[in-house]
Amino acid sequence: MKILYILALLLGLAAGAGAPARAQTTATTCGSGRYAADVFAAVTKTTGIVYGQNSVVDYSNNTSTLKTLALDFYEPTDDPAPQRPLIIFAFGGSFVSGQRTDMDDLCQAFALKGYATATIDYRLVAPNSVFTVLFTPALLADEIVRASSDMKAAVRFFRHDAATANTYHIDPSKIIVAGYSAGAITALQTAYIDSDTEDPTFTTAYQNNGGLEGNTDLPAPDQLLPTYNARGLAGTFSLAGGVATLGVVSAGNPPLYSVHGDADQVVPYGYGSVYGTSYKLYGSGAIQPQATSVGILNQLLTLAGGDHAAPRAAASRVAINTAAAAFFQPLVCTAPLPVQLVSFTGELGAGPACAATLAWRTASEVQSQSFEVQASVDGQAYAPLGTVPSQNRPAGAAYTYAAGPLAGTRYFRLKMLDRDGTYTYSPVVTLAATCAPGQLLLAPNPAHNEVQVSGLPAGATRLLLYNATGQRVLEQRATGPASLSLEGLPPGIYLLQAVGESGAARSTARLVKE
């Protein structure tokens, strides 16, 4: 069934002081920010769980070797939930290198939010066959199919356990496949190829490797899965991934959260050859509009100027994880729905003011109290900008919010507050200021308690100082060079604007207070 573009923001328990410890005994639903925020204090990890086996081919001598495949499993410590959504991660490394422990940080991060997570082995190209495979598109397609077959076996492993021993407490209907680079290509292949003939690039490879579902499962009686397959996934999480044929992203496919640097020279952001090979892929920049056009719920975080490693850079990991968790939370929750969010967008106004406006629409509102607009300079720590009362209309409503001028990149989200005190978060909107206003002259800069402002235009002006979240913290009138007191303001980055009598921003400058 075609997935409707509705983000169901969900009812849960109110968060408060001591929430991480409290969540370990009560957060079995989507309350207290579960699946969107860190609601657990610790993670329990089980390593080396064997889930499948299959052959690795050495094309240099046409031999094959049987390889046992294992996974590491992560879960919130002392989690009382009888079932949890599961994210299965695959590492990157161009299908020739890497190891499952490379994804440990992601598994840990999402387990703290209440998910069960796993990072898997998958078959890599045999060392003696690397150049043969990478420069032979048909063989590289074969390798992608093998990796996808291994991921599908991991999906079936957990679904079989959920139907039998229930060792891992997985909800079999809420499994998300994820990965970075080659692992993301694997996840997209797993989620979006619906038949072994849908993409002619891979038809022969599927025929040679056990068909669409593959043949990586453990042999009976260790594992016998006659009724489980890899269909019906809850979502896909792609970090710098791509697909060979854009048309495989089709109506009814799972929702998609993507992160990609637009200067990626390894896996193209748009369309092009994978670095060092003649194999071509469509990257996230091409997949996102295709997904939107066929009605797939999706969100793309583009890392401006980011290279292939940018989605895994330490500086951006927390922001990416927070945004991805907010995207997936409504997909894996089953609690009542106080608010159904249809869309949340942002845009920058023209001219030197560079003012941000946020807009959102809801499909329904029941016992909804308000929307708290929050902003962040790093995608990690958010501060409130203001509150918009809910119209609380059963048929939904439309809202806008003037977020003020921007300097650099800002991250915005909504905290949806219900009348009983519960809340949940929207997906994150990222805006990067591209305006080019005139510059004021500030001295000293960085400053401590006072800064001298010059370069002001002729005539009366208002000096407006905004903090990093867009809140106005100071206003002063001037008719020429002025002295601006910073007493009482916390250290940080500020934006100073000189606004003329007409209200137009005539010049701006970035101010740092130490």
Tell me which amino acid residue 162 is.
A
- Check if the beta carbon of residue 426 is closer than 8 Å to that of residue 341: yes
pLDDT of residue 52: 93
For residue 288, what is the enclosing H or E element? helix 284-293
Close Cβ partners of 309 (under 8 Å, ≥ 6 residues apart): 261
pLDDT greater than 70 at residue 31? no
The C-alpha angle 321, 326, 328, rounded to 5 degrees, equals 95
Q: Which of 37-41, 307-311, 363-367 has the lowest mean pLDDT?
A: 363-367
Tell me which amino acid residue 118 is.
A
Superfamily for domain range 339-432: Immunoglobulins (2.60.40.10)
Query: 34-332: which CATH topology?
Result: Rossmann fold (3.40.50)
DSSP line for 92-122: -STTTS--GGGGHHHHHHHHHTT-EEEEE--
The C-alpha angle 92, 94, 99, rounded to 5 degrees, equals 40
**Could you report the per-residue pLDDT of 168-199, keeping only the tens digit for each?**
999 998 999 999 999 999 999 999 998 889 99
Nearest-Å Rg of the Cα atoms of the chain is 25
How does residue 416 score in pLDDT terms, banded at 50, 70 and 90? confident
pLDDT of residue 275: 85
User: Which residues of the chain are in CATH 2.60.40.10 domains?
Assistant: 339-432
User: Which residues of the chain are in CATH 3.40.50.1820 domains?
Assistant: 34-332
pLDDT of residue 447: 86
pLDDT greater than 90 at residue 376? no
CA dihedral 290, 295, 297, 302 (to 10 degrees): 20
pLDDT of residue 171: 93
**Could you report the per-residue pLDDT of 118-134, keeping only the tens digit for each?**
999 999 999 888 888 87
Tokens encoding 475:
């206003």
Tell me which amino acid residue 221 is.
P
Task: Say how many C-beta atoms besides its own lie within 10 A of residue 369's C-beta.
Answer: 20
Distance CA 90, CA 154 (A): 11
- Minimal CA–CA distance to 7: which of 251, 308, 328? 328
Main-chain phi, psi angles of 126, to 5 degrees: -60, 140
- Check if the beta carbon of residue 74 is closer than 8 Å to that of residue 170: no
User: Which residues of the chain are in CATH 2.60.40.3080 domains?
Assistant: 438-513
pLDDT greater than 90 at residue 229? no
**Torsion sign across C-alpha atoms 122, 126, 131, 133:** negative
- DSSP at 240: S
**Could you report the per-residue pLDDT of 452-509, keeping only the tens digit for each?**
887 776 677 888 888 876 678 888 888 878 888 998 898 887 888 887 665 555 677 7
**Could you report the per-residue pLDDT of 318-337, keeping only the tens digit for each?**
999 999 998 999 888 865 55
Half-sphere exposure of residue 244: CA atoms within 13 angstroms, side-chain side: 20
Beta strand segments in 419-460, E: 423-425, 429-432, 438-439, 441-443, 450-454
What percentage of the chain exceeds 90 in pLDDT?
A: 45
Close Cβ partners of 479 (under 8 Å, ≥ 6 residues apart): 459, 460, 461
Query: 438-513: which CATH topology?
Result: Immunoglobulin-like (2.60.40)
Stretch 92-108: mean pLDDT: 96
Main-chain phi, psi angles of 387, to 5 degrees: -125, 135
Cis status, amide bond into 446, omega within 30 of 0:
yes
Distance CA 145, CA 202 (A): 7
pLDDT of residue 8: 30
